[in-house]
C-alpha cells in the first residue's frame, strides 16, 4: 500500500474550521495544504499554500485541486458527486465518493443502515405534508428532518401532535424528508473510528454529548458509559466503518434509550464537532488521525490520557463582530479557548468552543460549564 509521505500535498474540499484544524495537524507533520471553498475568506485559507475559490458544483475547480494534490479529503459530506468524481480522476479521494454518496442524503443513509442490519429507530421517508401527517399518526410523536442540507438544528422539527405535522413539514423547506419516531433517549454518544487504506481500524472511547433543542452544546470524553454500552457502541461503529469501506474518519452518532438499547442516529465521514476534546484528551487527536489514515501512515493510539470536555460557542455571545472578553475564563484551571476564525457572527453560527481538562470527566465537564456560564453572564448569550 503506497504511503503518502510528509512533503506531499493534501487537498481539502472545504476550508471551514474542521479543515483548518486538520490543516494545522497536516502542517505539523510536514505536509503542504491546498484548499477549495466557495468563501474567499474561509478559515483554512491562512494555512493553505493555495486556495481555490469556487462553488462545490464547479467540477473543473475540484479537478484542479486534485491535479496538484497527492490525496484529497473533505470536511463536509454535501459535495456533489460530479465534483468528487472529477477529483478522483486526478488523485486519491479519501473517503471515496461512494462513501459520500451513501451518507450525504439522510434518507439514503437511513435505508443503508437498516438494510445492513444496523439498529435504527422507526422511520419513514416522506415527500409531502400528508406523508408527514400519516407518519406522525403512526409513530405518536416524531421528528421530521430534511433529507439534505440539515445541520445544527436547521432543517429539523419536533412534532408532538399530529395536527402540527403539516406545519413542521413546511418549516423544514424540503422536498424529501425523513420522519423518525420521537425516541425515549437517556443519553447521546458518538464514536469516532479511523480506518486505514489496508483496513486496520482504531476507535476512540465513546464521547457523551449534550444537545439543546437539537443543537450540539457540550461533550465529554471518556463518556463514562457502562462497559457493555462502550462495547456495543464501538462494535457498531467499527462494523459501519468496515462495511462502508471508509478510508479516513467516521463519526457515528448514537442514542442510548431508556430501555438500554442503542440506535444509530447519523454518520459523518470526517472530523466531528463532538471530538474536539480528543486534541487534549487523547494520545492522538482526530485531526492528526485523519492525516495518518488518508496518507496510509500507521494509525495513532486513541487512549485517553486526561479527561476533557468542550462547550460550543455560538454567535449569540458576540457583540457585532466583537468576541466576548475571554480574560476571566482563561484564568480558570484547565480552560482553553478555540475560535474558528469565522468572518461574520450571524445568529446561531458556531464561532468556536471552550475546552477544559480535569482529573476525571465530571471535573472536566464542571470546569467547562462554569467557564461558559461566566461568559454567558458577561454577555447576552443563552445560559447553560
Closest approach of Mg ion to the CB of residue 251, in Å: 9
Quick check: 201 and 237 in contact, CB under 8 A?
no
- Coil, helix or strand at residue 143: strand
Q: Which is nearer to Mg ion, 58 or 266 (CB)?
A: 266
Q: Which phi-psi region, left, alpha or beta, contains residue 352 (left: φ > 0; alpha: ψ -120 to 50)?
A: left
DSSP 8-state code for residue 206: P
Per partner kind, with CB cut-offs from 5 to 8 A, the member of ligand ATP, Mg ion, none near residue 151 is ligand ATP
C-alpha to C-alpha distances, 216 to 16, 101, 314, nearest whole angstrom: 17, 25, 10
Quick check: 61 and 38 in contact, CB under 8 A?
no
Per partner kind, with CB cut-offs from 5 to 8 A, the member of Mg ion, ligand ATP, none near residue 37 is none
Name the helix (H) or strand (E) containing 39.
Answer: none
C-alpha to C-alpha distances, 19 to 241, 283, 377, nearest whole angstrom: 21, 20, 31
Position 29 contacts ligand ATP (CB under 6 A):
no
Residue 165 to residue 194: CA distance in whole angstroms:
39
Q: Which of 151, 5, 24, 9 is nearest to 73 (CA)?
A: 9
Quick check: 210 and 93 in contact, CB under 8 A?
no
Applying CB under 6 A, among 127, 171, 182, 243 the residue interacting with ligand ATP is: 182
Query: In the block, which residue shows the cell 475540484?
Result: 62
Residue 133 to residue 159: CA distance in whole angstroms:
10
Position 156 contacts ligand ATP (CB under 6 A):
yes
Applying CB under 6 A, among 152, 328, 366, 370 the residue interacting with ligand ATP is: 152
Q: Which is nearer to ligand ATP, 87 or 207 (CB)?
A: 207
Residues 307-346 binding ligand ATP (CB under 6 A) are none
Q: Which is nearer to Mg ion, 77 or 253 (CB)?
A: 253
Per partner kind, with CB cut-offs from 5 to 8 A, the member of ligand ATP, Mg ion, none near residue 180 is ligand ATP
Q: Which is nearer to Mg ion, 156 or 246 (CB)?
A: 156
Closest approach of Mg ion to the CB of residue 380, in Å: 27
Per partner kind, with CB cut-offs from 5 to 8 A, the member of ligand ATP, Mg ion, none near residue 101 is none
Q: Which is nearer to Mg ion, 194 or 252 (CB)?
A: 252
For helices 129-139 and 165-172, what crossing angle results, to 10°? 130
Residue 305 to residue 16: CA distance in whole angstroms:
28
Query: Order of strands across the sheet with 32-37?
Result: 50-53, 32-37, 9-13, 71-74, 92-93
Q: Which of 103, 135, 109 is nearest to 122 (CA)?
A: 135
Query: In the block, which residue shows the cell 499554500?
Result: 49
Closest approach of Mg ion to the CB of residue 256, in Å: 15
Residues 225-254 binding Mg ion (CB under 5 A) are 253
Name the helix (H) or strand (E) containing 285.
Answer: none
Residues 54-93 binding ligand ATP (CB under 6 A) are none
Candidates 69-77, 181-189, 343-351, 370-378; binding stretch for ligand ATP (CB under 6 A)? 181-189
Residues 103-132 binding ligand ATP (CB under 6 A) are 121
Closest approach of Mg ion to the CB of residue 154, in Å: 12
* Radius of gyration from C-alpha coordinates of the chain: 20
Position 16 contacts ligand ATP (CB under 6 A):
no
Which runs of E-coded beta strand occur in 7-101? 9-13, 32-37, 50-53, 71-74, 92-93
Applying CB under 6 A, among 266, 279, 288, 350 the residue interacting with ligand ATP is: 266
Closest approach of ligand ATP to the CB of residue 74, in Å: 15
Per-residue binder mask for ligand ATP (CB under 6 A), 209-248, x = binder: --x--x-x--------------------------------
By CB under 6 A, the count of residues binding ligand ATP is 19
Per partner kind, with CB cut-offs from 5 to 8 A, the member of Mg ion, ligand ATP, none near residue 251 is none
Positions in the binding site for ligand ATP (CB under 6 A): 121, 143, 145, 150-153, 156, 180, 182-183, 185, 188, 211, 214, 216, 253, 265-266
Positions in the binding site for Mg ion (CB under 5 A): 253
Amino acid at each position: 500500500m503506497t504511503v503518502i509521505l510528509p512533503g506531499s500535498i493534501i487537498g481539502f474540499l472545504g476550508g471551514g474550521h474542521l479543515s483548518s484544524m486538520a490543516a494545522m495537524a497536516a502542517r505539523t507533520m510536514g505536509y503542504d495544504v491546498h484548499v477549495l471553498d466557495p468563501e474567499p475568506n474561509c478559515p483554512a485559507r491562512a494555512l493553505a499554500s493555495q486556495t481555490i475559490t469556487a462553488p462545490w458544483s464547479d467540477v473543473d475547480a475540484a479537478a484542479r485541486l486534485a491535479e496538484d494534490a497527492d490525496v484529497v479529503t473533505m470536511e463536509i459530506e454535501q459535495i456533489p458527486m460530479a465534483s468528487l468524481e472529477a477529483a478522483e480522476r486526478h488523485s486519491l479521494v479519501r473517503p471515496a465518493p461512494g462513501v459520500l454518496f451513501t451518507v450525504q442524503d439522510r434518507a439514503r443513509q437511513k435505508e443503508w443502515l437498516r438494510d445492513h442490519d444496523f439498529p435504527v429507530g422507526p422511520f419513514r421517508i416522506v415527500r409531502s405534508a400528508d406523508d408527514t401527517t400519516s407518519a406522525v399518526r403512526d409513530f405518536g410523536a416524531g421528528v421530521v428532518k430534511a433529507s439534505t442540507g440539515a445541520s445544527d438544528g436547521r432543517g429539523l422539527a419536533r412534532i408532538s401532535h399530529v395536527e402540527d405535522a403539516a406545519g413542521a413539514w413546511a418549516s423544514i423547506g424540503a422536498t424529501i424528508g425523513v420522519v423518525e419516531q420521537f425516541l425515549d433517549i437517556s443519553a447521546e454518544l458518538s464514536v469516532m473510528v479511523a480506518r486505514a487504506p489496508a483496513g486496520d481500524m482504531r476507535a476512540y472511547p465513546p464521547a457523551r454529548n449534550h444537545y439543546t433543542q437539537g443543537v450540539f452544546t457540550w461533550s465529554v470524553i471518556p463518556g463514562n458509559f457502562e462497559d457493555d454500552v462502550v462495547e456495543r457502541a464501538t462494535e457498531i461503529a467499527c462494523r459501519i466503518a468496515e462495511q462502508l469501506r471508509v478510508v479516513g474518519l467516521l463519526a457515528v452518532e448514537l442514542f442510548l434509550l431508556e430501555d438500554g438499547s442503542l440506535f444509530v442516529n447519523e454518520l459523518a465521514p470526517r472530523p466531528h464537532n463532538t471530538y474536539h476534546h480528543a486534541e487534549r484528551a487523547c494520545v492522538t487527536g482526530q485531526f492528526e488521525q485523519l492525516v495518518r489514515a488518508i496518507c496510509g501512515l500507521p494509525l495513532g493510539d486513541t487512549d485517553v490520557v486526561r479527561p476533557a470536555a468542550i462547550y460550543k460557542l455560538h454567535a449569540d455571545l458576540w457583540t457585532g463582530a466583537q468576541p466576548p472578553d475571554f480574560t476571566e475564563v482563561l484564568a480558570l484551571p484547565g480552560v482553553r479557548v478555540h475560535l474558528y476564525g469565522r468572518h461574520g457572527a450571524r445568529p446561531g453560527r458556531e464561532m468556536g468552543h471552550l475546552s477544559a481538562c480535569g482529573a476525571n470527566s465530571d471535573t472536566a465537564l464542571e470546569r467547562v460549564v462554569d467557564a461558559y456560564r461566566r461568559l454567558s453572564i458577561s454577555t447576552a448569550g443563552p445560559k447553560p
